[in-house]
Structure 1
């Protein structure tokens, strides 16, 4: 598919088929994504791939910790400390849309918890990716990282695969670090589920809206 089709069809998939993803395919998309730009070409990304028994062990340990309420403080703030508009409304629309498709009624805490736990099942995806960054990198390198992550997601679409980037893993970065043997001098940025989307999973029908250009673009006066 061309890049515009990949951009339009990329979405966060929350239900995957068990179809395995060959290592050659993973290497191809990661090599393509590594062409992402970075300041002075420093390429500040590190990727840890997990599959099979190791992935299952990580799922079991993190699910148990989450159910026990044993989350740890995230090492960076993903969301604003104080929500305001228009961001609060967009966040709520996304959450309400997801929960409606998942059949989670408002106020049903048990069902909401079950849906959140799906993050730690990798939504049944056969591949989990974890991304870390050296702790001494500054904000510019985090901008670079975003471009790298987007490149992975678009390359996946080009190969007929789908993804779900997940900050939820940062609530258990201690377990992720221990199970996967991540270095202490690197910070967990996020996880990502990768595989073939399951069209029968209702939440995969979620298509989030995007603001019109007039809301975020200002054109200068033409000469």
Structure 2
């Protein structure tokens, strides 16, 4: 390789790094979307890229249900009917716990910080439980995104496959970001798995992992200005030689 070729190769590498790093660092949880449609071909391209996520022995444990139009609206209506009924919602819970109970530190403080930052942007006061409940319910409307996804996994699979699933979901978010789209990965669908199961006609073997909203972020909405804090590398990385 000549000196010129080496220089061009270094420029290409720098461009690739900038593009990938930029998509990762720009990704955020979008909580309000424009009604602008997303072509099916774009969704298929995102999933085609995301399927390259690593998985133990190439198991590829993911199953995706892509919802638009009436299919998405119908599921959201059924979910909101349960969510908005204080008596009915008490009968629903995660099949596998997602969060710790009780919450220990430092994770409790991080959770609270994010929550109050979001509510602050929306003008929701600490004592306004009804507005908090309403905001949480917007998860089930896919935050008005034109595309909603529901992810399931076989209940025969173990922890390793759940870890692999995270890489797949991350790939979807990054591939969408690279295409100028926003996403929100949502645990809120999992507790209402019985409603999801009935609407999507899931098999008994399938467990609901989460939902995901996909579309064009609404730049006018204050919740989309939220940037969650990330700890510096020194907090979570222990380098040893």
Establish whether TM, by shorter chain, passes 0.5: yes
1:63 is matched with which residue: 53, 71, 80? 80
Which residue matches 2:13?
A: none
Which protein is bigger by CA-based radius of gyration? Answer: 2
C-alpha displacement of 1:171: 2.0
Q: Give the equivalent residue in structure 2 for 1:153.
A: 173
Rounded Cα–Cα distance in structure 1 between residues aligned with 2:45 and 2:84 = 37
Q: Deviations over 1:82-121 (max 9, x none)?
A: 2111111100001001110111111101111111111111
Structure 1 segments of 4 or more deviating over 4 A? none
The answer on 1:11 being equivalent to 2:28 is yes
How many Å apart are 1:26 and its aligned residue? Answer: 0.6
The one of 134, 151, 157 equivalent to 1:137 is 157
Deviations 1:173-202 (A, max 9, x none): 111111112222010000000000000010
Matched, 1:37 2:54: yes
Instruction: Give the equivalent residue in structure 2 for 1:175.
Output: 195
How far apart, in 1, do the equivalents of 2:185 and 2:65 lie? 14
Choose from 208, 219, 223 the match for 2:228: 208
Counterpart of 2:109?
89
Which TM-score applies when normalising by structure 1?
0.97
In 2, distance between residues paired with 1:151 and 1:86? 27
What is residue 43 of structure 2 aligned with on the other side? Answer: 26
The aligned residue for residue 7 of structure 2 is none
Aligned-pair CA distance for 1:64: 1.1
Deviation string for 1:44-69 (max 9, x for gaps)? 00000111011111111111111113
What is the rounded CA distance, in whole Å, between the counterparts of 2:153 and 2:218 in structure 1?
A: 31
2:92 matches 1:75: no
Unaligned segments of structure 1, at least 5 residues: none
- Secondary structure of residue in 2 paired with 1:2: helix
Distance of 1:90 and 1:159 partners within structure 2: 30
Q: Distance in 1 between matches of 2:37 and 2:126?
A: 35
The separation in 1 between residues aligned to 2:124 and 2:27, in whole angstroms, is 24
The runs of 5 or more residues in structure 2 that have no matched partner are 1-17
> Which secondary structure does the structure 2 equivalent of 1:107 belong to?
coil
Aligned counterpart, 1:185: 205
**Count of residue correspondences:** 221
What's the RMSD between the two structures over aligned residues? 1.0
Q: For residue 166 of structure 1, what is the aligned residue in structure 2? A: 186
